[in-house]
A = this chain, B = another copy of it.
Amino acid sequence: MPKLDRFFDQEFESLKKQTLDMGASVETAITHAVTGLIERSLDSFEQVHAVEKKINGYHISIDETCLRILARQAPLASDLRFVLSCIKINSDLERMGDQAVNISHAGRHYIGVEPLKPLIDLPKMADEVRKMTRVSLDAFVRRDEALAREVIKNDDIVDNYKHAIFKELTMIMKKSPDAVERAMDLILISRNLERIGDHATNIAEDVIFAASGVDIRHGAGLSGRS
């Protein structure tokens, strides 16, 4: 059935394209959120909300596409794993968009008052997290396990930033009670960034599973993870 095959191929291509487009929107949302914070730009924060609406649209339509492919094609082996990985990646991407929105909420409050001091290591942490996001999507489109493993390794760098930022801001709060609210904004933003990094790690794990059929979660198949 060559005609049917071509139809099925188109469905798979459409799924891949939608997932990548959603990923690009998530990257854009994160960039707007971080730019809003660094450049103290309310306009950038507003962009985040506009992009999140698009992300939510993809969220619904990717799930519909996956359901349709499973129902009509009953794919097997690596095709089935690919569809399942898209279902999971879809959830992760949507939650990354939510985190960008959370950053913009805390950021709006933060830029409404006098800045605390240069933003500690937050911009560097944000750069790492954006890199993880981009590389996880590159790994997805290329079905590249080695690249996916790079993402997972990067998670430690993000964790180190989180700890350093937390320590520094705690010191600031103890010395300057007036700084408590602003320091809290930045701590919560660092947690939002951390969660984006966690979702990129989840995506990388799903890419490895889709490509190889090997489940590396909870320490299986990759040392040092749990």
In contact, B59 and A217 (Cβ under 8 angstroms):
yes
Q: Chain B nearest CB: distance from A133 CB in Å?
A: 18
Q: Which residues of A pack against B, CB within 8 Å?
A: 56-57, 59-60, 63-64, 66-67, 70-71, 74, 76-77, 80-81, 84, 87-88, 91, 166, 170, 173-175, 177-178, 180-181, 184, 187-188, 191, 215, 217-218, 220, 226
Q: Which residues of B contact A64 (CB under 8 A)?
A: 215
Q: Chain B nearest CB: distance from A159 CB in Å?
A: 13
Q: Which residues of B contact A88 (CB under 8 A)?
A: 87, 91
Given contacts A170-B184, A181-B170, contact A70 B60 (CB under 8 A): no
Q: Which residues of B contact A170 (CB under 8 A)?
A: 180-181, 184
Q: Chain B nearest CB: distance from A201 CB in Å?
A: 12
Cross-chain contact of A173 among B59, B71, B180 (Cβ < 8 A)? B180
In contact, B67 and A84 (Cβ under 8 angstroms):
yes
In contact, A80 and B84 (Cβ under 8 angstroms):
no
Cross-chain contact of A87 among B71, B84, B188, B226 (Cβ < 8 A)? B84
Q: Chain B nearest CB: distance from A221 CB in Å?
A: 11
